[in-house]
Amino acid sequence: MKNCIFCKIIEKTLPAKIIFENKDFLAFHDINPKARFHVLVVPKKHISSLESLKKEDREVIGQVFFVIQKIAKKLRLNKKGYKIAINVGKKAGQLVDHLHFHFLAGWKTKHQLENQKIP
Ligand code: AMP
């Protein structure tokens, strides 16, 4: 899709720190990470949001969880844990109109924040 940042990254006309690629997905580090690990898992097909998903996309999108497992293993986070998030629509914070899954890990827990010594 013309003027789509993620399509440009998929086409490799825009640089990104790619950590995984297969026929249907590309995963790369978020340019503005919200956690120590912040990877975006993006289907190569331009689907503008979760709300635009069609039944015909079911097979490809169903693979995403296995792609996520591979990324977690690669980052050695499969045992430590991680969070997956999808923003759907502008009001939910979706800035890029190309479906993507946020893979997040390595932030401080509430317990760590509460017990942190203030210098
Ligand atoms: P969302 O707000 O759910 O649409 O998420 C879009 C994400 O894309 C944000 O976390 C941005 O920091 C990230 N982002 C935008 N442009 C780039 C880029 N060129 N390379 C990597 N991440 C990007």
Read off the CATH number of the domain in which 17 is found. 3.30.428.10
| Segments forming the whole domain that contains residue 97 | 5-114
Catalytic residue among 29, 98, 100, 102: 100
* Per-residue pLDDT tens digits for 2-52: 899 999 999 999 999 999 999 999 999 999 999 999 999 999 999 999 999
| pLDDT over 70 at 119, yes or no | no
Summarised one tens digit per residue, pLDDT across range 57-88 is 999 999 999 999 999 999 999 999 999 999 99
Residue 87 Cβ < 6 Å to ligand 1: yes
75 inside domain: yes
Atom of ligand 1 nearest to the CA of 28: 21
- Is residue 29 part of the annotated active site? The answer reads no
In a domain, 119, yes or no: no
Q: Note whether 96 and 5 are within 8 A (CB).
A: yes
Beta bridge partners of 40: 28, 102
In this predicted structure, the answer to whether residue 117 has a pLDDT above a threshold of 90 is no
Domain count, the chain: 1
Residue 99 in any domain: the answer is: yes
Q: What is the pTM of this model?
A: 0.92
Is residue 16 within 6 Å of ligand 1 at its C-beta?
yes
Q: Give Cβ neighbours of residue 11 (< 8 Å, ≥ 6 apart).
A: none
